[in-house]
Amino acid sequence: MASSTSGAQPLIRARGLTRRYPAPKTRLFGPKAFTTALEDADLDVFAGTSVGIIGESGSGKSTLVRLLLGLDTPTAGTVEFDGRKVDAAASARSLHWLRRETGMVFQDPYASLDPRMSVGRIVGEPLWALGIDGDRRARVREVLEDVGLEASMADRFPHEFSGGQRQRIALARAIVHRPRVLVGDEPLSALDVTVRAQILALITELRQRDGLTLVMVSHDIGIVQNLCDEVVVMKDGRIVEDGPTEKVLMQPQVAYTRRLLASIPVIDPGGV
Ligand code: ADP
Ligand code: MG
């Protein structure tokens, strides 16, 4: 993908990424059937930039980001993070280095927060899991404030919070260990417009302050326009178009992107 920083090494570099799944109804004696979730995807993400991934449901967006994060093993192809190979088949422990570099937020803030754990434990868990030293409790309080919550909320439990607050908690957990890359898989789509705008503004602020690199799956063009320098368009497991956000949104090169843009309601992210 073209970038203003071209010439530099990408922070994340994917080549020929492919992921096939056995199809649900494989006939016993017939040829083996596969679903190809992702086919031959190349992607470069440069440090400090933000990349949006758009495409209709089932086009392979989640598969792509899971492979980038080493949460799934490709059928073919490679992922490198800062020049280091991501080996998702290796033990969880041997991927700690990648966990330290990355944070993730998913669509559903309910599913991603363990209801039996206090907010402080949920948010601080990566610090303990990754063996990050320092005053961990202080860091948890600090990051809660960074995401617009109160430090005292550490002692409470997820069910005491609204959907928007829970997504802030999930965001705090994703950045508590100061990752270089934040990956979101439709993290704003379950939120109402006002809360969405607040969290968008928050992510923008964190990016500006900490130079966070962002990879954001979204079906909301308003969010991509607001947040992303570059955009990747996916269809049937393939990247069909990519480039600077403004160019792709204003002058889409392929018919699919034009149809996709026409079909997606543009939600005003609230002037942020
Ligand atoms: P998106 O996030 O764009 O909606 P996904 O990456 O989730 O798309 O899925 C891409 C394709 O791969 C879909 O056809 C989906 O049904 C299939 N797929 C995803 N995960 C699995 C899985 N664990 N087993 C079988 N098929 C899967
Ligand atoms: Mg998905």
Residue 208 Cβ inside 6 Å of ligand 1? The answer reads no
Question: Looking at residues 241-262, what average pLDDT do you find?
Answer: 94
pLDDT in tens, 207-228: 999 999 999 999 888 899 999 9
Residue 59 Cβ inside 6 Å of ligand 1? The answer reads yes
- pLDDT over 60 (residue 133): yes
- Predicted TM-score of the model (pTM): 0.91
More confident residue, 104 or 1: 104
Q: How far apart are CA 100 and CA 160, in angstroms?
A: 29
Backbone angles phi, psi at 132, to 5 degrees: -90, 120
Q: How far apart are CA 7 and CA 115, in angstroms?
A: 46
In a domain, 269, yes or no: no
- For 244-255, b where at least 16 C-beta lie within 10 A, e where not — what string? bbeebbeebeee
**Cross-sheet strand order for the sheet of 50-55:** 102-106, 181-185, 213-217, 50-55, 230-235, 238-244
In a domain, 5, yes or no: no
| Closest residue to atom 26 of ligand 1, CA basis | 21
pLDDT in tens, 37-92: 999 999 999 999 999 999 999 999 999 999 999 999 999 999 999 999 999 988 88
Pick from 228, 261, 247, 219: nearest CA to 59: 219
In a domain, 144, yes or no: yes
| Closest residue to atom 12 of ligand 1, CA basis | 37
In a domain, 147, yes or no: yes
How many domains is the chain built from?
A: 1
Which ligand neighbours the alpha carbon of 107 most closely? 2
Domain of 139, in residue numbers? 12-263
Residue 107 Cβ inside 6 Å of ligand 1? The answer reads no
pLDDT band for 7, please (50, 70, 90 cuts): low
Residue 50 Cβ inside 6 Å of ligand 1? The answer reads no
In a domain, 111, yes or no: yes
pLDDT score, position 3: 45
Question: Looking at residues 115-133, what average pLDDT do you find?
Answer: 95
Containing H/E element for 125? helix 119-129
Share of the chain above pLDDT 90, in %: 75
Q: Are 109 and 163 in contact, with CB atoms under 8 Å apart?
A: yes
Find the CATH number of the domain harbouring 172: 3.40.50.300
In a domain, 268, yes or no: no
In a domain, 270, yes or no: no
In a domain, 1, yes or no: no
